[in-house]
Structure 1
Amino acid sequence: MTSNDISESTQRLREKIRVFQAAERNSRREDDTDSMRLGLGEISQLIEELENLTEKDVTGLASRIKRKKHASYDDMFRLSHAFLQSVENIATFVKIPGALNVIVKELTGSDAKSQVIACETLCNLSLGDSVPCEKIATAAGSYLITHLDSSELRLKRTSLWVLTNILATDGKGISTLLSQEIASKLVHLYLECKYPELEDDILLAIDILLEKDANVIDANDQSKLYDSLRTKQPHKGLHLNVLFMILFRANSVSLETENFERTSELVEIAINTLNAAEHLNSQDNILKVLYSIRILGNLFAKCPDCFVAVEKLCPSLSSLVNKVLSWNNKTINKELLWLVKNTISCQTALNRPGNVLKELQVSRLTIF
């Protein structure tokens, strides 16, 4: 799978997984007595070996666990690191019949530590293309979804990461997970989440689903998610993106049935986000600004009365538009022009004086 096949958000999640795994490895190096050292003893003696695992090593490990019908902590730890090192190591493992089933057996066993390590091994295996992801979904999808309810945070988080990697592919793994009701599970996991550090990861999985099909989550769950996001005052680009997808791409929430107070809250979220923005020095800042503009533009197009709320919150919309234009981001500038067009339509429909287009303080070359 090339970088073009997965979203930038998914690539960031995958990098997060790699950083997390590297941190775990360093922790194990520093503390022999760590309960999660996987039984390797003095790991410092094996650093070079672990960082240079080859396809031949993977074949040997896979054949051994298949023969024994059991994967030790040591076996899984080595495989996990081998998968991080190259996609060739991943491809080699999935070609060996029965090897994956041994890891899944450890995932579903009664040894809590083995469950976690098996899940982390699957997580690194899911960093490959759609083929390993499809195999994981078929062999372990239902178990991973069940582990989303685990009281063990590490198992819960890693299961979520595996599932997200599968959803990010374009293979049959997605349909397999959907048949196991992953969509509803993710929504309820987010709504009932007691771990703030997991909320964004859950929302990323939901976002990936909505990007593939805005109506893949049923109307009732989308409505609950919409209300939750709206009342939480979303402050990240990912939050605004999911809100945007539900509001304008799906069929579950109709602006025609929204009362003015609730619609005004959406306007307030977007305006406050734009007012607070000071620069575009990160991907999250870019997404926050981009989706705030899209939310306003769509609201103005579908519900011109929303402009009344903008007038109260932002008497000088042109100043706000000029601030964003001054950052000279061509993608955002094009979205702004569409917002300006819809703003003028609202001003005309409501008989408001002025024309925001005349107050723009940027040249045509800057915009395009």
Structure 2
Amino acid sequence: MSSQPVPPSENSLIREKVRGYAQEQRKEGRTEAKDSLRIGLGQIKEEFAAQDNLSEKDVHGLATRIKRRKHATSEDLFRLALAFLQGVENINAFAAIPGALQVLVKELTGSDTQRQIDAAECLCNLSLGEAHVAEKISSLVGSYMVTYLDGKDGRLKRSCLWTLANILATSDKAAQQLLQMQIVPKLWKLYTGEGASNGFQEDAGICLYLISKNAAHHVNAEDREYIAHHIFSIRPEDPGSEYLMYIIHQLEIVELHSGLGTHQAECLVNFFIASLDSQADSLAVSYGVRVVANLMAINNPSLIGVLADDNIFVSALNKLFALRDPRLNMDLMRILRNFLNLNLLDSNLVLDRLQVYA
């Protein structure tokens, strides 16, 4: 089955989630790192937050100066980061200076760890620009940022994740470039337990969501197989958990059946059942129904785990019917039909116990 477009209401749900998450991160940032402030998907130093607005002329002067020196000080980077947040015209002014971006790349890839972080935060704000800017960043620095996802410095890693998220949300061409740099396996590792313990699970989940939403057609078979082999146990209360079923559905992991085993399928089913109690009326539920229906369509009872128990299946379906969500109706009928086609028990026994609300 091909990927289905995301209904406007579900797009709104994701936008609200990301917006709320960004606000929470700003609060945490002021507590945990008083010298930085996250705005949207960018960071600036607080000491520059009270400065007057920087104009395009100011940005032009800064860009020309760092280009001439082939070096940017921390103050240069902080001022540019602030300027980029003040308007897309400042971003465009910087991007129009040949060689200026290469100076930021030089600082990012240098040996000074603090300067790397400063450059990454500056690039993060620069990536809030339009598609042509995202494509420049991806082309010049995308491979470094993807590599830094394996690094140990948390602040550098987080700035790279935010930058990559901006790029993935902005340009199809840039997203395609990033997908050629092994970004999916690295993000998936951060989305699993490896990132959860260090607080990167939500950021990695957002990046994977954006790939699934905007660039699923560019994801190759090897990356899909990697995900299928490494589906993990996740709880509805875990950071970024609401993106899991959306990612699995949009990348057609179940439909392609590439490397999906009994254990991986069991993880999806268990998460789906748990999400019915804690994430009703969410992406986890609406796309979970589709994923589980596709699991049943494979016609292999071992892949549906505990749902093979008619008591658990009927209970789950009744919870879904109780939501009275008309958007789920067709998918609920499909999941019921696919379950009955498995011939696990008498169909009438199942139908008699369903509580369908008109």
Q: Considering the TM-score relative to the shorter chain, is it more than 0.5?
A: yes
Q: Are residues 147 and 333 of structure 1, via their aligned partners in 2, closer, same or farther at CA, if it must alter by over 3 Å?
A: same
The 8 Å contact of residues 317 and 356 in structure 1, kept in 2 or not, is answered as no
Decide whether the 8 Å contact of 2:62 with 2:80 is kept in 1: yes
| Offset at residue 126 of structure 1 (A) | 1.0
CA distance in 2, matches of 1:270, 1:234: 9
Written as runs of structure 1 = structure 2, the 5 A alignment for 1:4-23 is 9=14, 13=18, 16=21, 20=25
Task: Output the CA distance in 2 between the equivalents of 1:18 and 1:79.
Answer: 23
Whether the 8 Å contact between 2:134 and 2:171 is mirrored in structure 1 is no
Show the counterpart of 1:168.
169
- Mapped contact 1:131–1:171 kept (Cα < 8 A): no
1:322 touches 1:362 (CA, 8 Å); kept in 2?
A: no
Amino acid at match of 1:295: V
Between the aligned partners of 1:324 and 1:158, the Cα distance in structure 2 is: 39
TM-score of the aligned structures, taking structure 2 as reference length: 0.76
**C-alpha displacement at 1:75, in angstroms?**
1.8
Structure 2: unaligned runs, 5 residues or longer: 1-7, 38-42
TM-score, scaled to structure 1? 0.74
Aligned residue-pair number:
335
- Is the 8 Å Cα contact of residues 234 and 240 (structure 1) preserved in structure 2? no
Distance 2:84 2:342 in 1: 55
Residue deviations 1:33-67 (CA, integer Å, cap 9, x gap): xxx996x9xx3xx54425x3333332232223223
Alignment gaps of 5+ in structure 1: 31-35, 281-285, 364-368
> Does the CA-based 8 Å contact 2:78-2:122 persist in structure 1?
yes
Is residue 321 from structure 1 mapped to residue 313 from structure 2 by the alignment?
no
Aligned residue in 2 for 1:63: 64
1:236-255 matches, cutoff 5 A: 236-244=241-249, 245=251, 247-250=253-256, 252-253=258-259
- How far residue 136 of structure 1 moved from its aligned partner, in angstroms, is 0.4
Q: CA RMSD in A?
A: 3.8
Dislocated runs of 4+, deviation >6 Å: none
- Residue 77 and residue 328 in structure 1: after superposition, are their counterparts in 2 closer, same or farther (change >3 A)? farther
SS in structure 1 opposite 2:232?
helix
Answer yes or no: is the 8 Å Cα contact 1:267–1:296 preserved in 2. yes
**1:356 alignment partner in structure 2:** 351
Distance 1:93 1:25 in 2: 28
Question: How far apart are the structure 2 equivalents of 1:142 and 1:75?
Answer: 24
Matches within 5 A, 1:111-122: 111-122=112-123
Q: Which residue of 1 aligns with 2:287?
A: 291
Call closer, same or farther: CA 1:242–1:113 in 2, change over 3 Å: same
Q: Structure 1's 238 and 80: CA in aligned 2 closer, same or farther, altered over 3 A? A: same
- 1:268 maps to which residue? 270
Inter-partner Cα distance in structure 2 for 1:278 and 1:110: 45
Superposition deviation, residue 84 in structure 1: 2.0
Contact 1:70 1:106 in 2 (8 A): yes
Q: Paired residue for 1:193?
A: 194
Secondary structure of the 2:111 match is coil
Amino acid at match of 2:355: L
Query: Quick check: 1:213 aligned with 2:210?
Result: no
Q: Does the Cα contact within 8 Å between 1:214 and 1:249 map onto a contact in 2?
A: no
What percentage of residue pairs aligned between the two structures are identical? Answer: 32
Contact 1:229 1:243 in 2 (8 A): no
Deviation, structure 1 residue 351: 3.7
Look up the match of 1:310: 307
Q: Is the 8 A contact 1:134 1:172 kept in 2?
A: yes
Q: 1:110 is matched by which residue type in structure 2?
A: S
Q: Is the 8 A contact 1:226 1:246 kept in 2?
A: no
Q: Which has the larger radius of gyration?
A: 1
**Letter of the 1:310 counterpart:** L
Q: Which SS does the other structure have where 2:291 is aligned?
A: helix
Alignment match, 1:28: 35
